Amino acid sequence: MGQSMAIFQGSGVAIVTPFKEGGILDFDRLGELIDWQVEQETDAIVIVGTTGEASCLYDDEHLETIAYAVQKTAGRLPVIAGVGSNQTEHGIKLSQGAQKRGASALLHVTPYYNKTSPRGLIEHFTEIANSVDLPILLYSVPTRTGMNIAPDVVAELAKHPNITGIKEASGNIAQVAEIARVTPDDFAIYSGNDDMIIPVLSLGGLGVISVLANVAPRDTHDMVIKYLDGDIQGACKLQLDMKPLIDALFLEVNPIPVKAALSMMGKCEYEYRQPLCRMEESNFEKLKKEMKAWGLI
């Protein structure tokens, strides 16, 4: 996307939602995390996405968390609200609620479980985009939803003035290339995979919506900015050097490992809402080893 129009360039953190024991929302911890992310030069806060355990929040909690993030960030960074749903009316309700609470932009995942057809996808996203006055990023993550957004569908949706980009987490670099080919120059492409930041940037991507940035925000920001500033070698070195840590953060389903990592750093409680649970001990130790190796603990 053209620099002046993009929601952000660089690293957007897919921030966790901290809980106290018993699954109670911990806004104090969230506030500390947001302040730390700002200090560490993260470029956007992506609130209540997959990493934020959005699917385990009630609607009132979901919208309260967005409102808190907007208030706490206080205009220092854009706040992108995850408001996707597999039911279009529900997606509209959450989107309008996020807009009312001051979100800068919206992140919309494909319908999951019930899924739909390509035509259904176009209608779903178009109706949502018609219901708000905010930029929308599509979110393609077929491993979670069972539903891919094909490049021709992305190209069709990119015609809508409110649909300004995509978080591409298919893991298929050929598909990212085709999306880049068939969408306008000002359509923003963000990597949805921390192990593919540089490949996506090489195809014209503007950055990443990152799990890694929860624990290593400055390095994630630097990786993108180095690349965009022409230090390709430095950016590639960071991508490859960080791969063992990235792999460790995905030893179990996200956000189980990243919350474990943040608890090791003393930044949030080691708490989830079921069905998520604590890591297997052997995986926890592997993660701890990589956290130590990168100097995070």
**Cα 267 from chain centroid?**
19
Helices within the chain (DSSP H only): 27-39, 59-73, 88-100, 118-130, 142-145, 151-157, 173-182, 197-202, 217-228, 232-241, 243-248, 256-264, 281-293
> Token pair 């063992």 is at which residue?
244
Residue 37 CA to residue 161 CA, distance in Å, equals 30
Active-site residues, by number, are 139, 167
Residue 198 CA to residue 207 CA, distance in Å, equals 9
Nearest to 140 by CA among 178, 100, 102: 178
